[in-house]
Chains A and B, each alone.
Chain A
């Protein structure tokens, strides 16, 4: 069985994996980081979004072997110890989650949007950029508010996403 070496949330792991193993399976089943979720089998829902070398990736769409040598951040690695990332804070403050299942992927996507588009996001941009993440609970209203507020907090001296990774 081949092995891969990945740095996940700052910690290096060398793991034996079957060649068909997906990155999400490596994260959830081998590393037991179960905050990254699986909500579909067609790369549509975005519950499994993590950052690979700083960019948002649907971890159900990437083979674990393709992540060899990569740096991965999952939802568990976003906070700085007990200090939440501004985007996590914004989701709580604006009630941007209900059942919580899509939330890790939403937050990881939201941080990536800010990394790419900056902290001043209008509603239209946020809604467009969330195209790859499905939520069944919130009707997106409060997610959109949370992403906008989180983006402003990230830009306004809050801990940057890069620093978190």
Chain B
């Protein structure tokens, strides 16, 4: 392994600009003559818009224009769409209500835009926004997904009677019912997977500029996938043809899924820029972000697990109500279906699984993918069921898991997925050693001596990443293919530019992708640059989410590098008067097999461009190759997290005493970056399990609408983590990579709740397990113990 090649903990190339304050985030950009946009947003969760009077506001200082939903409709700007078609049990398509970028007739959640003010300065735009008069006809609201389909519930969209978008199912119902009928023991749980606000630290932003001479638009935005944004804004919104629309996502300050989606503000900025013929800049406030960024999770689930007399799991069934919010966000339909129910087999050989999912509209912010997206929800269901079943059966949770692990591969689950490789016992065993599981009892006794409760909890998770084979996702309703593209441009002097359709917003692609190139071509890492996030530079790409950039994005680069190597060998062949087949390439040197004749990388790249030695006109000059890589399967990262907590029963305070994560991500490019991804994922999962919860009151007001009210994990809430890996290479891509971006967030909530419930001695601990929740649980647990 070279110091900068695959497997090395190379320090990140992108850090120089971030630690010196010279990054280039969207909100850092100003365009000459720009106006600032500020949105007038609904204070009501559900209301008709009876009248909008902008006349007084328009006369205020600095106001350039004020635009409404009627203006948008007048200019025939289309609405936003959800790009994944889900079909209900009865074969009917999902019921997608219209989603105009500015509401015209009715608002459906607090924060729905009703007008946009364009002014010379942000303060002027804000002042004028307050002077826009909107007459609302306030309607009753529904925020609880479990009540959305009830008789008499307020109706959001005419196309979706009873607020039901789809009732979908997966698996073999009859076989599952038979398994439960024959079960020796059935474990039942009611679970609320709490609603979360993604809260990337950089709030969303959009700057749009109209080039009148060429009738072309440019959008700078905070996007995880600028090409998909361009496609949707062009093909569905109808803003401009694709070749007349450039989307640039520069440095992006975190995404976690929330910046995958195409949002109203981007559409409005483009449209407004063309109308007023000046650049338009919009930057979200954090308060706006809480109201308008797509939220995550929000499932209400009943789940059951059947076991036989030998403690083998024989069946699993769930019914889930998924809150989609007020509108269907870009990929919202896929999250509680194909990203959720397909993972309900966990790491276990379960012969029969049946899942039913009802997706419902409510008067809340749209809900879509958030780190893990469906897989955290599935893992929480499975890992809570398994842990509770072990407790009910009087078994050690590790033993019960071992008894039911999938041990031979490939393994076909009853819910679509074919697991390709893994060793689940290896990661669990290693995690148990790292946390000193066998001495947990001693530590528990020690805690008890001090009046504290102690608990330990497992989460042996699996996820499907590397999203995904285009044919497979197409057959499941995806409106797009999920391949990735790469272009390798080698300059005459031997430096290399990689153009990728993946997008880095914290993942460190400028380093890891360069490591691959350095490894393959034997060139110094500093001579490799990674270009991403600009539709004018990169031809097309599907962006970054679902831990796909390594498994899919880097595989595309690898494929393009294969072609570069082939071409370079031909060039070297002309230079050394040998056949390309006789050329070996290693460590940046081309050698004629069996001879000491060789030429270096820089000689070959220069000769590729001067082309003086290409006789016969059979070899094109230049050294540039592209590739599209479409995976043949999902990848299946898996592993074991173990959480150990100490609880003060008098205050409900939880101290995370130990956290161990052993993950199998397949081959690893940069272990430092991988560990960082695990740390961050655990923090978000711990946040979900003990701190975070987006709460709407019955009127639809978000009462956790700022960092004052919504508990983001802070440094003192978390411990240092013990992180390690086991490796079974992924057989379905050339690099053997599985992906690491989401595992921490997927695994950790179940581990923590399993630890807390183990400590308090009963299962009734909802998320987030705040001190008040845990205090009540601990008091109840002690009462139960005393009885």
Contacts and interface: CB of A to CB of B under 8 A. Distances in A.
Interface of A: 18, 20, 28, 32-42, 44-45, 47, 74-76, 78-79, 84, 88, 91-93, 95, 97-104, 107, 123, 126-128, 130-131, 133-144
Interface in B268-321: 285-287
Contacts of A42: 286-287, 706-708
11 contacts: A41-B706, A42-B706, A95-B11, A97-B15, A100-B18, A102-B253, A131-B715, A131-B716, A134-B714, A139-B680, A141-B718
A133 B708 CA distance: 13
B714 A131 contact: yes
Contact of A127 (B200, B679, B708, B715): B715
B254 interface: yes
Contact of A79 (B20, B683, B712, B716): B20
A139 B15 contact: no
B679 A88 contact: no
A84 to B, nearest CB: 7
Contact of B202 (A39, A91, A97, A141): A39
A41 B712 contact: no
Contact of B21 (A76, A141, A144): A76
A47 B28 CA distance: 14
B252 A139 contact: no
Contacts of A44: 706-708
B65 to A, nearest CB: 22
Contact of A39 (B201, B716, B720): B201
A100 B251 contact: yes
Contact of A136 (B16, B20, B712, B716): B712
Most buried by A among B18, B252, B716: B18
Select the residue from B286, B287, B505, B714 with max chain A CB neighbours within 10 A.
Answer: B714
Given A42-B707, A74-B21, A95 B718 contact: no
A130 B714 contact: yes
A101 B720 contact: no
B512 interface: no
B707 A35 contact: no
A28 B29 CA distance: 10
B565 to A, nearest CB: 31
Interface size class of B (residues with CB under 8 A): 35 or more
B563 interface: no
A152 to B, nearest CB: 17
B94 to A, nearest CB: 31
B286 A41 contact: yes
Contacts of A35: 20-23
Most A C-beta atoms less than 10 A away, residue of B20, B285, B675, B716: B20
A39 B19 contact: no
A87 B245 CA distance: 42
Contacts of B470: none
B469 interface: no
B712 A139 contact: no
Contact of A37 (B202, B712, B713, B744): B202
Given A95-B672, A144-B715, A39 B20 contact: no
For B27, B506, B684, the residue with the greatest tally of chain A CB atoms inside 10 Å of its CB is: B506
B187 interface: no
B589 interface: no
A84 B673 contact: no
